[in-house]
A = this chain, B = another copy of it.
Amino acid sequence: MYIGIDLGGTNVGFGIVDEDNKFLFKDSIPTRKSLNYEEVCDDIIELIKKAVKALNKDLNCVKGVGIGVPGIVNPSNGMVIECVNLKWKNIPVRQYLEERLNVPVSIGNDATVAGVAEFAVGAMKGYNSGVLLTLGTGIGAGIIIDGKVYDGAHGIGSEIGHVIVGENFFDCNCGRNGCLETFCSSTGIIKYAQKLIEEGNKTSMEEEIQGDLNKINGKLIFDAAKNGDKIANEVVSRMVKYLAIGIVNTVAILDPEVIVIGGGLSAAGEFLLNKIIKEAKERVYFNGAPIGDIVLSKIGNDGGIIGAANLCRLNKK
């Protein structure tokens, strides 16, 4: 059996799954983030021990523990380099847990973990290689090559949200201009919608927000676009254009079997997916070149736990 931990800023999602990724145990505890890292980790250790006991097993039955962290991690040495939510910097999470549990521990960032979940039980299942793009506040990515997690020589690969695809009217958090996530994350499309409204364009979205531009969100934009609003559709078209460039750039380097669209904005469903497929196929080089499947995410709320539990099985390539 494998243990998956979805370490969030508010809650720690926890689960034990069997070889077939069926849940044997599931729980969640609050993240006591005011404590130091040792105490947060001790909470996790206690939870693991309790759960294993509840199943009438012992720690020897646990083949691996995986942890997904919303931040920058180094999977090679198991350090959390930075996790803003938990105010962690250079924390040796793997070492701390392995010394106390005597079980192999793997660690990955949340986008990698989501990619692993897609591969284990979701939209990448049955494929050998694939890329997950999570369209949320930013854009995360998880890369699977030959059934293993790929994140590069220094752990800074698999950051497709920071592929430069054009010039944008505002800079990225990373300090540069033109990153994919400034065009295609919810932050990116909200800023562009706000810009168009500020420039005096009329849109049905204005009724919803009653003059408060801060009320614009991804769902509002996509709902308006689906209802035929011209400005909302302009925002979506721009997003899709740059996302297609990001996808064909990924194809030009990695040529994966499948590209999975996940994250909050993927709730726009087929409406968004069909536009992405059309635009990516039009933009791939040498018209007609084969391009991997482009599909919607299939992992649900437990994806963070299942992905983490499978991290240790998909050893880093």
A interface residues (Cβ-Cβ under 8 A, vs B): 128-129, 143, 145-146, 150-160, 162-167, 172, 174-176, 179, 245, 248-257, 283, 285-287, 289-292, 317
Q: Assuming the A-B contacts A153-B128, A317-B146, are A286 and B174 also in contact, with contact meaning beta carbons closer than 8 angstroms in the complex? A: yes
- Of the candidates B145, B162, B167, B252, the one whose C-beta lies within 8 Å of that of A162 is B252
Q: Is the CB of B154 within 8 A of A292?
A: yes
Q: Assuming the A-B contacts A165-B164, A286-B174, are A253 and B254 also in contact, with contact meaning beta carbons closer than 8 angstroms in the complex? A: yes
Point out the residues of chain B lying under 8 angstroms from A253, CB to CB.
143, 157-160, 163, 249-250, 253-254
Tell which of A128, A155, A167, A249 has the most Cβ of chain B within 10 Å: A249
Q: Is the CB of A254 within 8 A of B286?
A: no
- Of the candidates B157, B172, B290, the one whose C-beta lies within 8 Å of that of A254 is B157
Q: Is the CB of B285 within 8 A of A176?
A: yes
**Could you list 20 examples of A-B contacts with CB < 8 Å?**
A128-B153, A145-B145, A145-B317, A153-B255, A153-B257, A154-B255, A156-B252, A156-B255, A156-B285, A156-B289, A157-B255, A158-B253, A158-B255, A159-B253, A162-B252, A164-B249, A176-B283, A176-B285, A253-B254, A254-B254
Tell which of A154, A155, A164, A175 has the most Cβ of chain B within 10 Å: A164
Point out the residues of chain B lying under 8 angstroms from A176, CB to CB.
283, 285
- Of the candidates B129, B150, B159, B317, the one whose C-beta lies within 8 Å of that of A153 is B129
